[in-house]
Amino acid sequence: MPLKPKIRLLNLIFLHILNYVAKINSNLTLICFKVLNLYTSTILFIVMEDLVNLLSKFIRLVAIRLPDDVYNALKELSSKENSCWGKEVYSIMFDNIRLALEKNVPVCQDTGVLMFFVDAGADFPYLNVLPDAIHAATVRATEEVPLRPNVVEPFIEKNTGNNVGTRLPWIEWNILPDTSYADITLYLA
């Protein structure tokens, strides 16, 4: 069962308890209402932490591993290369790709600016926390992967050190009606 229906069900149970307690004692009603708010806040914190963990792992994967179609295209192009300098460049590229996977570090040391393309359903249950989760995951991945911090605040001309700043990471939104999922594509520009 998805988390959102569970939250609704438990909230409904709390509301029934709240109504019952209200008939008995108004002071207990306030306590029950505080428990309901604490419970809902705790669920949102857990969801947020799960999203941040998932997204930071996603950022790591994108930074470290080339998509299969790109890797296969490079392999095909390298097999057709005739010049010795071209073959050497491909050889260095494949060494770099191999080392990135072995050492769990980005393929390119200049990871650029993170650009997220989000196709999210209007009914996606975590739509309201997704932007904050993306920002928090970017900060975490910048430190843990590590990613090169490239974001500079334009008005103070200072690097933020965490790849988050004014309108960055860039998030391009496409809200899909009558849909309850989110499809996220990441481009390291």
Give a three-class secondary structure readout of the chain.
CCHHHHHHHHHHHHHHHHHHHHHHCHHHHHHHHHHHHHHHHHHHHHHHHHHHHHHHHHHHHHHHCCCHHHHHHHHHHHHHCCCHHHHHHHHHHHHHHHHHHHHCCCCCCCCCCEEEEEEEECCCCCCCCHHHHHHHHHHHHHHHCCCCCCCEECCCCEECCCCCECCECEEEEEEECCCCCEEEEEEEC
Give the alpha-carbon dihedral of 63, 69, 74, 76, to 10 degrees: 160
Would you state the pLDDT for residue 46?
Answer: 55
Residue 125 pLDDT class (50, 70, 90 cuts): confident
The letter for the amino acid at 86 is G
Would you state the pLDDT for residue 44?
Answer: 52
* Other residues' Cβ atoms within 10 Å of the Cβ of residue 16: 10
Which one is predicted more confidently, 21 or 151?
151
User: What CA–CA distances, in Å, run from 66 to 5, 63, 82, 143?
Assistant: 37, 8, 24, 21
Determine the Cα–Cα distance for residues 139 and 165; give it in Å rounded to an integer: 10
Contact 121, 176 (CB under 8 A): yes
Determine the Cα–Cα distance for residues 145 and 105; give it in Å rounded to an integer: 6
Listed in sequence order, the residues at least 6 apart from 85 whose beta carbon sits closer than 8 Å to its beta carbon are: none
Would you state the pLDDT for residue 98?
Answer: 94
User: Averaged over 155-174, what is the pLDDT?
Assistant: 92
Determine the Cα–Cα distance for residues 134 and 109; give it in Å rounded to an integer: 21
**pLDDT tens, position by position, 95-116:** 999 999 999 888 887 767 899 9
**pLDDT tens, position by position, 21-79:** 444 444 444 444 444 444 444 445 557 788 898 899 988 988 888 888 889 999 999 99
